[in-house]
Each structure stands twice: as structure tokens, then as C-alpha cells.
Amino acid sequence: MKEGKMLPIMEHFYTLQGEGVHTGMASYFIRIGGCDVGCHWCDVKESWEAGKHPLTDIDTLVDQATEFSKNIILTGGEPLMWNLDYLTAALKAKGCTIHIETSGSHPLSGQIDWICLSPKKRLLPKDEVVAKANELKCIIFNHHDFKFAEEFAARVPEDCELFLQPEWSKREEIMPKIVDYILNNPKWKVSIQTHKYMNIP
Ligand code: SF4
């Protein structure tokens, strides 16, 4: 487990990326169990306890995933809680492009082509992840979240794509505020959880 040859995998599946820059792109998701961030609005609370998810042989998982797609999305939970060197080397050996969705709260590991950073107030991202983010996706739950988003927009690389995404349970109330905000601050784009509208995972 230390070397990352076995990891607690909650689920893995072939679907369309629902959010952010790569919305609509067919991708294979690998959801790794374990998260110590504790967002109260988290929509995958079942992922938090790593021990609840089967320790899975990574070579077998990589064979299964690459039968479907060379576009891989590592998500969680918080995937950076684990050493991703072995998993990403095995995926790279098969010619995959590797994306990660992370809060950035743990050190980077592995060979990652696209970092989607979604910073969380309860456990702030590490500087090294902020400095390498390709996409910044800030969840808007209340008005203060716009300020939090701007703090990170000032720290990510200049070519980082900037997204504001309504927290799902408050989307009807928050969306008009996001639209207004983006009209006044057009460096941002809106991200919508399109997979929830399409009823796909
Ligand atoms: S970081 Fe992600 S998985 Fe962890 S609690 Fe927050 S929303 Fe849930």
C-alpha cells in the first residue's frame, strides 16, 4: 500500500466527465477511498473512510480501465492522500492521459497531466498543488466563497482555467449570483454538474 501497488478503490467506471474544462469528454473514473477534509456539503461522504473500500490490485485495475479509455480521471475522496506513483506509471505505460480532481490538501505524487484544484476551507491546499493547477474549480455555497475563490485565482498559474460551480443543494439560489458575478468578473466561467442532469455517474 505504501508503494501504491494496492489502493482502497471505492468505484471505477466509464462515463462522461460532467464538470469543468473537460465537460462531456468520455473518461474512465477511478474513485479512491479516503478523505480527511470533511466538507459539510460533500456529495460522496461514503468515500471518507478508506477502510470501507476494498484494497485493490492496481495492475488489474489499470488493465480494466484501459480497455475502456485512455482518458483517466483520478478522483475521491481525496486521491492525493495516497502515493500515486505506481498507478500513474502503469497508466502512462499504456499511453493514458491522467487527470486528477483534488482539494490539494496533500502532497503531489505521480505523473499527472491535468490538475483540477478545488480548494476547501477546512483543509487548505498545499502551495505546490496551487502552483501547478491547470484548472481551478471553486464551489460556491455562500457569498464568502467568491472571496475565497479570488484568493486562489491570484495564486494559480496565469493560464489556469477558472471556474465557479454552484454547490448542488443550493444551485437554484446560488446560480443567479454566480451569473451576475461572472458578468462582472469575466475571467471566470461557470461549471455545472451536467452528469447530475444526465443521470449518469
Ligand atoms: S474534499 Fe471532496 S471528497 Fe473530501 S469532503 Fe470535501 S467534497 Fe468530499
How does pLDDT run across 24-44, given as a tens digit for each residue? 999 999 999 999 999 999 999
Assess whether the C-beta atom of 77 lies below 6 angstroms from ligand 1.
yes
CA-nearest residue, atom 8 of ligand 1: 42
Assess whether the C-beta atom of 78 lies below 6 angstroms from ligand 1.
yes
Confidence of residue 2 (pLDDT cuts 50, 70, 90): confident
Judged against a pLDDT cut of 90, whether residue 107 lies above it is answered with yes
CA-nearest residue, atom 2 of ligand 1: 77
Assess whether the C-beta atom of 125 lies below 6 angstroms from ligand 1.
no
Please name which of 73, 38, 35 lies closest in space to residue 52, comparing C-alpha atoms: 35
Partners of 161 in the beta sheet? 135
Instruction: Evaluate if pTM is beyond 0.75.
Output: yes
Assess whether the C-beta atom of 47 lies below 6 angstroms from ligand 1.
yes
Assess whether the C-beta atom of 73 lies below 6 angstroms from ligand 1.
no
Question: CA triplet 25, 26, 30: central angle to 5 degrees?
Answer: 110
Task: Determine how β-strand 97-102 pairs with β-strand 114-117.
Answer: parallel
